[in-house]
Structure 1
Amino acid sequence: MKTANLKRKNSLSYIDLFAGAGGLSEGFIRNGFEPIIHVEMNVDACYTLKTRLAYHYLKDNNQLDIYVSYLKGEISRANLYENLPTDLLDSILNLKIDEGNLKYIYKQIDKNLKLRKFKKVDLLIGGPPCQAYSLIGRHGIDWDNDERVKLYKLYGKILAKYKPSMFVFENVPGIVSANKGEYFNDLRNYYDKLGYDVDYQILKAEEFGVLQSRRRVIIIGSLKTKKLAYPEFPKEIERYTVADIFHDLEVLKPGDSISVGKYKKQASEYQIKYNVRNVLDFYTQHISRPHNINDLAIYKIVQDKWNNENHRLKYNDLPNRLRTQNNVSSFLDRFKVVDMNGLSHTLVAHIAKDGHYYIHPTQVRSISVREAARLQSFPDDYFFEGSRTAAFTQIGNAVPPLMSAVLAKKIKEILWVK
C-alpha cells in the first residue's frame, strides 16, 4: 500500500481534535509538524481538511497542477483524491468525539503513528465547540448536563492516553468566566491532575497580522517534568487595513458568484508579506449571498452612516418602513459595515445565517466567501468544501492561520530545545 511518507527530518507529530476546517492545523503544517489524525464531526469540514492535505501533499511532490485543475473544475474531487495515499485520506476522521468513539480514534492514531514511523505524539491541539462558553451562548445552558461543556474531559482522555509534551487548547474568552469561573477552574484542575502545567493568555489576532479585531483564549499545557513556561509570542506592529485585501477582487452584486476569477489589481504589500496570493494566479469562491429589497435599502443607509459620518447605525434609528422586528430596545447592533480603513470586527459563524453584521464597505451586499476567508487570513489557495452556507460556517468557526502559524513556530522552538 502506498503511504504518505510525510515524515521529514526532525519533524514533530500532532493530533488535531475538533479540527474544523483546519485553520489551527494549517499553522502547524506550515512549520513542519506532521498531522497524525484530524478528528471533526462536520462532514463538509472533513472534506475541506482532505482537500487541504491534498494541496500540501501535491505541493510537496511537485504535482500542484493537479490541485489547480481541481480548483478550476477540470477534475472532480474524487479525481483529486485518487492522487493521494490512502493513509493520508484516512487520517481525517469524520467522527463525533464521545466515549463510544474513543477506542476507534485510539486505533487510528496508533495505526498512523506506526505508518509514519513516529514513536510518540509530540503535541495535541484543538478547540472544542465554543457556543456554550461564549457570552452570546450562555443563556439556557445546563452546566451540569450539557455535553458541550464536558468536552474538555474527552480532550483530556486523549491527552492522558498519549502524554504529548505539550497541548494547545483554543477557545473564546468567555470560557474563562463561564459559570462564574467554576468551569475554567475545573478544566485547569483536571489537566493539572493529568500531569500538566497549565497557563493561558487572551491573545489578539491583529497582533499576529490578522486584519480583524478578534480575541481568543489560548490555553497551553506542558508536562510538569518538562518545566516549560508559557511562550512569549512576537507581536505584529505594522498596521494594514481591510482595503489591503478587498481591493483586487471583482465587484459583485447580491447573489453573484465567481467560481474562478482573475485578480483585477496588483497584490498589496500585505498580500505579498503574508502570502495571501500564494501559488495561484487566480482566486476562487468569490460568492455573494442574495438579499431582498428591504435588506438592501437598510445596507445602503448603514453604509452611508458609517462611511460619511463614522457612525454605527442602531436598529431603532431605521425608518419604520424598513423595520421587520418589533424589538427596538435590545439587540440593536444588528447591521454592521466592515471597516475598509481599519480592522474588521470579529467574524463568527453566524455569518452563515445572514450577512447583516458583515456588510461590504463599498458594495451594497454582505461580504463574499472569499472576502470572509481573507479576513480570517486564509490564503487564496485554501478551498472550502460544501455549500456557501457550509463555507461561511467553517470560516467563522476557524482559527486564523496567521495566528496559528506564530503559535506553531514558537512551540516548535520550545519542543526542539527540550
Structure 2
Amino acid sequence: MPKRTKGCAVKKGHYGVPLERSDYLKLDPNKNSCSLEGFQAWLEGFGKDKRLAVDLFSGAGGLSLGIERAGWTTAAAVDFDERALETHRANFPGLSLKMDLGDPAERDRLEGILKPAKIDLVAGGPPCQPFSRAGRNKIRDLVKNHGRDPQDRRKELWSAYLDMIKRISPRAVLMENVPDMGLHDDFFVIRTIEEELEELGYATQVRLVDAWHHGVPQHRKRLILLARKDVDVFTWRKPDQRRTTLRDAIGDLPELKVVPTERVGARELEYSRPQVLSDFAVKMREKASAALIWDHMTRRVRQDDYRIFEIMESDTKYSDLQEKLTESEKEYQRYSAEKYTDKYKKLAWGELSRTITAHIAKDGYWYIHPEQLRTLTVREAARVQTFPDHFRFAGTRSDAFRQIGNAVPPLLGEAAAEALTPLSDDIAESPSIQPHWRKVRLELTHWARQRLAGEDWYQLPCEEPASLHAAVVAILSGAKIRPAAMVEFMSTIKESRTLTATLFRRLVDASPSANARSRMDRLASLVDKPYYWQWTKRYDVPAQLPMKPAEAALYRLLIGEDLMLISQATLRVAARVNGMGTDHANRLSEGRVNLVKLMGAGTEAPLRMGAIRLVGMNLCREEQPVCSECPLAAHCASRDKLSGDLLTLVTNRS
C-alpha cells in the first residue's frame, strides 16, 4: 500500500494562506516491475511472448499507459526525474531507469541493458529545444567552413532519442511533442528525425492531432510522428464526433468544502457513485476502489482569491474583474490586468478544459472549478489528462501536478499507438518497403534540378547561390511580371555577383513595368557596396533594402536557408497533395505539417521548398491547375476531384 510521510510545519506569510508542503506519497513498486539484475528473468517470465515497448523520456508514464492500452508491455522506461520514475515504477511492469540520455555513455549502457530484449516499439516525447534560424545558419557555417562535425549533437535530447532508435532498431516508433516546437523552428527537428528514419527504411507519418478527437476532455493539439518498418500503413481510428466535456470528466467527483485559508480535500475521501455516470467516468473508475477516491486535494484558497473566484464566470477575463469588485475589494486583483490578461480562468461544465500543462504545479489559476471556489485537485487534473483513478503519483501535491502536466494524455497515446499495431501476430520487417513520402520527395528533387538547369535557374536555391539574384527576385515577387519577361529580365544579371552603378542603371532601364522599375529603385542603397553581396554579409541585405517579411523570407530561401515558405501557393500544394481542402480548418498549422511531408530535411530541403513554390505559382493554381505538368500529380490525393481531361493526362503521365 502507498505510504505517506508527514508534511512540513505550517508557517504564515504575505501569501495570505499558511505555507506548507503536502505530505509525501511514497509508492511501492509494481508487483511485475524488476531490477536490472532481474531483467533477464523478467524477459523469460512476465515479458515472455509479449509485444515489448521502451518509453524514453517517460515521465510519470502517460504514454506508457497509452501504449499499454493499445496492446504493448513496457519493458523499460527511462527518465531523469526521480519522482516521475517512482510513479512509473509503481504503475508499470519492467524497468524504470534513471538516466541522462544526453550522455553517450548512458546510451551505451542502455543499449547493453536492452540487448537481450526484442523491442517492437520505441516511444517517447523527447524535449526538443527548437533551433532558431540564426542558430541553424551558424551550425551550417561551422560545418562548412570551420570543420565542425555535423553529427556533434550529443547534448540535444531529440538526437539522443534518434540515436537510441538506431541502436535498438524497433519495428515501430512513436514520438509525441507540442506543435509549438515545430512552428518555432520551421519543423527543423521533426523534418530531420523523419528524414533519418526514412533513410533507415522506415515509412513515416507526421500528424497534428486534436486530443479531444480521442476522448481527451481538453483543448490540446499534439504533434505525432509515427514510423514503422513492416508496412507503409498508418490506420487511425475514426475521430470522436462528440466532445468529452469537463462535466463528463469530473462531474462525479465528491464536492469539497472550501473555506478560505483552510485545507481543501484530502489524500483519501469517500466516493459515492452517482446514479448516472458518464462513459468517460466509467472508464476512469476501472480498477479503482469502489468506495474511495484518492488525491482529491488542492491548494488552500486565499481570502481575496475566494472573492474573485466567486464573481467570475467562465467567460470573465482577468481585465474585467475591476468592474465587478467593490472599491474596498479593488486590491484583491493583485496582478496587472494589462500584463496578465488571462491570469485567471474559470472552467465551464459544458466545454473542454483548458490545456493542462506543467504550470499547474506553480499555481492553479488557469484551472478554477466551474462551481466550487477553488482550483482543480490533483485527481481532477489527472482525470482531464485521462489518467484513471487507480493511477497514483509519487511525491508531494506539487510533484503530482507537475507529473500530470508534463504527461502525454494516455487516451491520445493509445490512439497513436493503435496506428502502429502489427498487421499480423508474426511481427516482421519488410526488406523492400519504400516509404511513400521519401519517394515523393525524390521525384520533387529531380524535377527541381531539371528546372534549375533551365529557365527557372533564378527561382530556386542552388549550391552556390548569389545573394544579388535572390534580392532581385524577392523584390519583384509581388510585381506580377509575365514569366517570359522575367526570364529575359533576369538574364541581365545572370553572370553578376555584385551591384555596380552601371548594372543598377541597366536593371532600372530593363524593368518590364513601372511597378518593377519602382521596386528596382530600392536597390540604390546597395550600389557599389560589394561587401553586402559577400557570403558573410548576405543576411544583412533584407534590412538594408528594406524588404517586407514575405520578400525577406523568399530571399533567405533563395540563398539556401532551410526554412518553410508559408504562402497561399505553397499551402495549396501541400493541402491538395495530402487530400485536404485548401480552406480547411486550422489551415495554417495543418498546412505546415503537410509541407513537412513534401519538404523533408537535409541539404536539398531548400531546393524542394523552392520547387513547391514554383508548382504553386505556375501549375497548382487555384483555378484551372495544370496537372499534366505537375511533378506531384501522380501522388496527389486530390486528383480524383480533377476534371476528366486533366485526370486523363495525369493518369497517362504516371
Indicate whether the TM-score tops 0.5.
yes
CA contact (8 A) 1:121 1:164 kept: yes
Does the residue aligned with 2:156 lie in a helix, a strand or coil?
helix
Deviations 1:114-158 (A, max 9, x none): xxxxxx22111000135x45xxxx99x97779x899222111111
**Among candidates 31, 46, 49, match of residue 6 of structure 1:** 46
**Among candidates 276, 283, 288, match of residue 298 of structure 2:** 288
CA contact (8 A) 1:40 1:94 kept: yes
Instruction: Give the drift of 1:301.
Output: 2.5
**Among candidates 186, 200, 207, match of residue 206 of structure 2:** 200
| 1:338 alignment counterpart | 347
Cα 1:8–1:104 change in 2 (3 A) is: closer
Hey, what's the Cα distance between the residues in 2 that align with 1:292 and 1:344?
Answer: 23
Identity of aligned residues (%): 27
Check if 1:43 corresponds to 2:41. no
Residues matched between the structures, number: 361
Of the structure 1 ranges 283-292 and 13-22, higher mean CA displacement relative to structure 2 is found in: 283-292
Hey, what's the Cα distance between the residues in 2 that align with 1:19 and 1:386?
Answer: 17
Which residue type is aligned with residue 215 of structure 1? K
Does the residue aligned with 2:185 lie in a helix, a strand or coil?
helix
**Among candidates 420, 423, 446, match of residue 411 of structure 1:** 420
| 2:99 alignment counterpart | 95
**Among candidates 204, 221, 244, match of residue 215 of structure 1:** 221
Deviations 1:155-181 (A, max 9, x none): 111111121111000000112222234
Q: Which runs of 5+ in 1 are unaligned?
A: 58-87, 114-119
Mapping 1:10-409, distance limit 5 Å? 11-53=50-92, 88=94, 91-98=95-102, 99-111=104-116, 113=117, 120-129=118-127, 132=129, 150-223=156-229, 226-252=230-256, 253=258, 255-266=263-274, 268-271=277-280, 273-281=282-290, 282-302=292-312, 305-306=313-314, 311-315=315-319, 317-318=321-322, 320-326=330-336, 328-409=337-418
Deviations 1:52-88 (A, max 9, x none): 02xxx6xxxxxxxxxxxxxxxxxxxxxxxxxxxxxx4
Hey, what's the Cα distance between the residues in 2 that align with 1:153 and 1:412?
Answer: 25
Hey, what's the Cα distance between the residues in 2 that align with 1:197 and 1:265?
Answer: 46
Hey, what's the Cα distance between the residues in 2 that align with 1:350 and 1:193?
Answer: 38
Cα 1:181–1:149 change in 2 (3 A) is: farther
CA contact (8 A) 1:177 1:184 kept: no
Does the residue aligned with 1:168 lie in a helix, a strand or coil?
strand
Which residue type is aligned with residue 104 of structure 1? R
Hey, what's the Cα distance between the residues in 1 that align with 2:353 and 2:154?
Answer: 29
* Greater relative CO, 1 or 2 (CA 8 Å, sep 6+): 1
Cα 1:369–1:142 change in 2 (3 A) is: farther
Instruction: Give the drift of 1:379.
Output: 0.7
Hey, what's the Cα distance between the residues in 2 that align with 1:335 and 1:128?
Answer: 30
CA contact (8 A) 1:240 1:270 kept: no
Instruction: Give the drift of 1:200.
Output: 0.9
Hey, what's the Cα distance between the residues in 1 that align with 2:288 and 2:421?
Answer: 25
Instruction: Give the drift of 1:231.
Output: 2.8
CA contact (8 A) 2:212 2:244 kept: no
Instruction: Give the drift of 1:277.
Output: 4.2
Aligned Cα root-mean-square deviation (Å): 2.8
Hey, what's the Cα distance between the residues in 2 that align with 1:200 and 1:30?
Answer: 22
Of the structure 1 ranges 235-244 and 373-382, higher mean CA displacement relative to structure 2 is found in: 235-244
CA contact (8 A) 2:182 2:190 kept: yes
Does the residue aligned with 1:46 lie in a helix, a strand or coil?
helix
Does the residue aligned with 1:161 lie in a helix, a strand or coil?
helix
Hey, what's the Cα distance between the residues in 2 that align with 1:193 and 1:413?
Answer: 21
Hey, what's the Cα distance between the residues in 2 that align with 1:321 and 1:45?
Answer: 39
CA contact (8 A) 2:234 2:420 kept: no
Instruction: Give the drift of 1:359.
Output: 0.5
Cα 1:415–1:273 change in 2 (3 A) is: farther
Deviations 1:173-211 (A, max 9, x none): 112222234333333333333333322111111111111
Cα 1:413–1:234 change in 2 (3 A) is: farther
| 2:607 alignment counterpart | none
Q: Normalised by the size of structure 1, how large is the TM-score? A: 0.78
Instruction: Give the drift of 1:28.
Output: 1.8
Of the structure 1 ranges 314-323 and 257-266, higher mean CA displacement relative to structure 2 is found in: 314-323
Does the residue aligned with 1:159 lie in a helix, a strand or coil?
helix
Does the residue aligned with 1:285 lie in a helix, a strand or coil?
strand
Q: Which runs of 5+ in 2 are unaligned?
A: 1-36, 140-152, 429-654
Hey, what's the Cα distance between the residues in 2 that align with 1:206 and 1:389?
Answer: 26
Which residue type is aligned with residue 286 of structure 1? H
Does the residue aligned with 1:28 lie in a helix, a strand or coil?
helix
